[in-house]
């Protein structure tokens, strides 16, 4: 059963990493990055390294996400909510 969990984690890590790089919408890239951080933390958990998982959850998914959100809001102030729906990057 656990090979399924690990396989899913590996695939999803690759998918989110590629999604962050390919997304042309910066805000989407940031949220994807936060998701990547959480998945990375889960990967550390599976590698029996809870201390690194703790750091990854706090820094990768939490603080870096907040900093990047701040940066994005400076970049595209006021334009965020008017994106056309269904736009693909």
Residues within the interface to other proteins (CB under 8 A) = 1-2, 4-5, 8-9, 12, 15-16, 19, 23, 25, 27-28, 31-32, 34-35, 38, 41-42, 45-46, 48, 50-51, 53-54, 57-58, 61-63, 65-66, 69-70, 72-73, 77-78, 80-81, 83-87
Q: Which is nearer to other proteins, 21 or 66 (CB)?
A: 66
CA–CA dist 70, 61 (Å, integer): 14
Tokens of 4: 């399924």
- 29 Cβ contact partners less than 8 Å away, ≥ 6 residues apart: 19, 20, 23
Q: How far is the CB of 82 from other proteins (least distance, A)?
A: 9
Token readout for 6 is 């690990």
């Amino acid at each position: 059963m656990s090979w399924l969990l690990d396989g899913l984690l590996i695939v999803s890590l690759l998918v989110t990493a590629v999604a962050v790089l390919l997304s042309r919408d910066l805000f989407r890239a940031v949220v994807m990055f936060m998701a990547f951080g959480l998945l990375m933390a889960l990967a550390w958990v599976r590698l029996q390294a809870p201390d690194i998982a703790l750091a990854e959850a706090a820094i990768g998914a939490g603080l870096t996400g907040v900093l990047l959100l701040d940066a994005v809001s400076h970049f595209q102030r006021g334009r965020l909510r008017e994106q056309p729906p269904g736009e693909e990057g």
